[in-house]
């Protein structure tokens, strides 16, 4: 904001001076009100800082003091603390011509800040007919510390505004009498001390609203006395608005419930298919005791049954105390993923009145997911070892978005089967009582020896509420190295060794393809030649047979002609027959 800096100077010269004009150069954080022209200082405008000017035209005798007043604006970025401004003076001596200039006179000053106090009540809803502790916070919103703070509560009747009907009562003579709606029954004066800038202090007066002050707004008057940045004593009158409730709340009992599982308390989430202990507490949050309390618990769902106690009776429940109750409940698997309600009926006497309340407790029925791994083994798939196995959900509900991943052994001294871990495998939903197989490719060194190796698997899934879960399952697997059928070294093509199959496979495949085509072509040619020779042999075989038959016939005729004949008869007679 706008401020005035008064600079007191003294004439130390032996002669009188007059026509004094001062040019004050301001530090950062301050802005001059009305910047002087550049020509007045004989400088370029671009080189001028923020200047403010004042003059003193009277004659100043030697040894006298005079004051120059410089108007300026304190910017928001200025901080509380010391500053130094630079003052240039121009003056003339009496009875002499010309001007004398004195430059760069250091003018120290300090920004002290301002004290700004405000009050606010953290509790402004009061119950009539009973004492109420009010928390009032006093905050110093200024930039300077407030010292010696003393807060006094005004004992004068508070100002009230009725929300429904008037607070005034009328006597028999027709004259109105006003009752005091709010009375301070605690301390009247609070000695706080120092409240630093941007800090707070708290007082806790004890007030009593009358029964007739219900449904009204009351002001609690405060007087704050403090010292400002200059040590001056100041007073500030403040008031705090308070709302008087029409009557106490209808219900002074509250219920807090949970489910006990493995000695751990949680929210009301029931696991279907199990008998669980339902715990709940009845708390008296009022100011008066409750007597003849009867508590009844019932289930709204037919699939959820109460197996234990469902009714309790107590003679007395003191204010700000509670009763811890428990019973056994069972939820069927038919209500998995569904919300249910328990009805709690409360019957009691409070303030000489009988009251019946019904409070509903919401609950959620969830299924159970219990994952187990079995049949762990190593299978060779495509010349690469794979860890195979099955996941089994022994619970009663789906495990959603199931993934499995192999982990390294947690201890460095444990045997490690693989040199690098494969990425996780997505398996989908794991249904209850339905095995789900998995296969994880393994990267095993050739130097790995046969034996039994530990296996650590991380299984991740989500339940019906899409809450993620992770578990680590331990197991073991027997490993047998793959037997090499070819000798180590070069193969028949001399391209590489069997231990570098991955590197030479692309070079061997074209050669094998060419050889296979050559073998097929050669086989076709050989078969065709064999078929041609067979056909020719059959043809030649027929001619030989004809020649042989003809030769046999000729030999037979020749043999007959050489035999002796019997000229006595017509036929030919064999001599051997004759004898």
Closest CA to 343 of 308, 306, 317, 289: 306
Architecture of domain 253-366: Sandwich (2.60)
Q: How does DSSP assign 64-120, residue by residue? A: -EEEEEEEEEE-TT--SEEEEEEEEEEEEETT--S-EEEEEEEEEEEE-----EEEE
CA distance 424 to 353: 66
CATH 3.20.20.70 fits 2-111, yes or no: no
| CATH number 2.60.40.10 given to 371-479 | yes
CATH number of 117-167+179-244: 2.60.40.10
Q: How far is Cα 216 from Cα 228, in angstroms, rounded to an integer?
A: 36
Q: Is 497 exposed, middle or buried (0-12, 13-18, 19+ CB in 10 A)?
A: middle
| pLDDT, tens only, 455-495 | 999 999 999 999 999 999 999 998 888 765 544 444 444 44
Select from 51, 21, 48, 55 the least CA-distant residue to 33.
Answer: 51
CB 154 within 8 A of CB 221: yes
**Residue in the block written with tokens 């800096």:** 5
Domain boundaries, the chain: 2-111, 117-167+179-244, 253-366, 371-479
CA 60 to each of CA 18, 22, 70, 230, 563: distance values in angstroms, whole numbers, following the listed order: 6, 15, 19, 31, 195
Rounded CA-CA distance 509/498 in Å is: 14
Distance CA 88, CA 51 (A): 10
Give a three-class secondary structure readout of 397-449.
CCEEEEEEEEECCCCCCCCCCCCECCCCEEEEEECECCCEEEEEECECCCCCC
Cα of 319 vs its chain's centroid, Å? 39
Q: What is the pLDDT of residue 484?
A: 55
Q: Give the model confidence (pLDDT) of 128-144 as tens digits.
A: 877 889 999 999 998 88
Domain 253-366 in the same topology as domain 2-111: yes
Q: What is the pTM of this model?
A: 0.43
Cα distance between residue 24 and residue 87, in whole Å: 4
Return the SS3 of 212. Answer: helix
- Tell me how crowded residue 212 is: count the other CB atoms within 10 A of its CB: 19
Write out residues in the chain with pLDDT < 50, as ranges: 43-47, 158, 162-177, 262-265, 486-505, 557-579
The phi and psi torsions of 92 (rounded to 5 degrees) equal -130, 150
CA distance 100 to 15: 13
Per-residue b or e along 550-559, where b marks 16 or more CB atoms closer than 10 Å to that residue's CB? eeeeeeeeee
Place of tokens 């009375």: 183
- SS3 percent helix, strand, coil of the chain, rounded to 5, is 15, 50, 35
Distance of CA 135 to the CA centre of its chain: 34
Residue 100 and residue 238: Cα distance in Å, rounded? 56
- Distances in Å between the Cα of 440 and the Cα atoms of 232, 346, 392, 403 are 83, 59, 17, 11
Q: State percent of the chain over pLDDT 90.
A: 35
Contact by Cβ (8 Å): 149, 195: yes
Model pLDDT, residue 551: 55
153: tokens are 């509560």
Instruction: With beta carbons less than 8 A apart as the criterion, state whether 136 and 204 touch.
Output: yes
In terms of phi and psi (left: phi > 0; alpha: psi -120 to 50; beta: otherwise), the region of 386 is beta
Q: How far apart are CA 470 and CA 403, in angstroms?
A: 10
Q: What are phi and psi of 563, to 5 degrees?
A: -75, 150
The closest of 157, 155, 138, 145 to 189, measured between CA atoms, is: 155
């Amino acid at each position: 904001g706008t401020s005035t800096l008064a600079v007191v100077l003294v004439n130390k010269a032996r002669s009188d001076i007059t026509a004094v004009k001062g040019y004050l150069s301001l530090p950062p954080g301050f802005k001059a009100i009305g910047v002087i022209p550049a020509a007045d200082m004989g400088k370029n405008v671009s080189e001028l800082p923020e200047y403010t000017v004042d003059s003193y035209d009277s004659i100043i005798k030697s040894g006298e003091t005079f004051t120059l007043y410089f108007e300026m604006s304190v910017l928001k970025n200025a901080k509380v603390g010391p500053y130094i401004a630079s003052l240039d003076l121009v003056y003339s001596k009496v009875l002499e011509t010309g001007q004398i200039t004195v430059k760069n006179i250091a003018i120290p000053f300090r920004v002290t800040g301002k004290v700004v106090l405000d009050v606010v009540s953290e509790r402004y809803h009061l119950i009539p007919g009973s004492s109420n502790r009010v928390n009032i916070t006093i905050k110093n919103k200024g930039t300077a510390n407030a010292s010696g703070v003393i807060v006094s509560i005004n004992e004068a009747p508070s100002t009230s505004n009725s929300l429904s009907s008037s607070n005034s009562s009328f006597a028999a003579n027709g004259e109105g009498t006003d009752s005091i709606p709010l009375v301070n029954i605690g301390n009247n004066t609070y000695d706080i001390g120092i409240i630093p800038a941007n800090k707070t202090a708290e007082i806790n007066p004890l007030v009593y609203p009358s029964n007739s002050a219900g449904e009204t707004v009351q002001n609690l008057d405060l007087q704050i006395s403090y010292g400002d940045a200059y040590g001056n004593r100041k007073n500030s009158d403040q008031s705090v608005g308070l709302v008087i409730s029409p009557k106490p709340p209808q219900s002074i009992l509250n219920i807090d419930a949970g489910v006990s599982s493995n000695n751990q308390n949680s929210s009301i989430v029931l696991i279907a298919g199990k008998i669980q202990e339902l715990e709940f507490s009845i708390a008296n949050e009022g100011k008066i005791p409750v007597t003849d309390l009867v508590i009844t618990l019932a289930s709204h769902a037919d699939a959820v049954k109460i197996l234990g106690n469902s009714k309790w009776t107590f003679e007395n429940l003191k204010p700000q105390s509670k009763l811890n109750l428990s019973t056994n409940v069972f939820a069927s698997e038919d209500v998995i993923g569904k919300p249910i309600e328990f009805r709690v009926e409360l019957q009691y006497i409070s303030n000489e009145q009988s009251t019946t309340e019904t409070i509903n407790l919401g609950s959620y029925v969830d299924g159970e997911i219990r994952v187990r791994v079995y049949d762990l083994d190593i299978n060779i798939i495509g010349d690469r070892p794979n860890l195979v196995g099955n996941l089994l959900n022994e619970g009663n509900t789906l495990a959603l978005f199931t993934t499995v991943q192999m982990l390294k052994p947690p201890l460095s001294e444990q045997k490690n089967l693989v040199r690098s871990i494969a990425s996780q495998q997505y398996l989908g939903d794991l249904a209850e009582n339905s095995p789900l197989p998995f296969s994880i490719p393994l990267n095993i060194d050739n130097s790995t020896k046969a034996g039994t190796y530990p296996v650590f698997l991380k299984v991740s899934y989500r339940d019906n509420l899409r809450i993620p879960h992770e578990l680590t399952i331990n197991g073991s697997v027997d490993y047998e190295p793959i037997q090499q059928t070819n000798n180590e070294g070069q193969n028949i093509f001399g391209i590489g060794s069997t231990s570098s199959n991955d590197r030479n496979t692309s070079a061997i495949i074209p050669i094998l393809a060419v050889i296979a085509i050559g073998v097929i072509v050669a086989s076709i040619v050989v078969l065709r030649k064999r078929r041609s020779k067979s056909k020719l042999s059959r043809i030649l075989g027929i001619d030989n047979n004809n020649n042989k038959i003809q030769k046999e016939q000729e030999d037979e005729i020749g043999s007959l002609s050489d035999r002796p004949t019997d000229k006595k008869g017509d036929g030919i007679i064999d001599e051997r027959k004759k004898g």
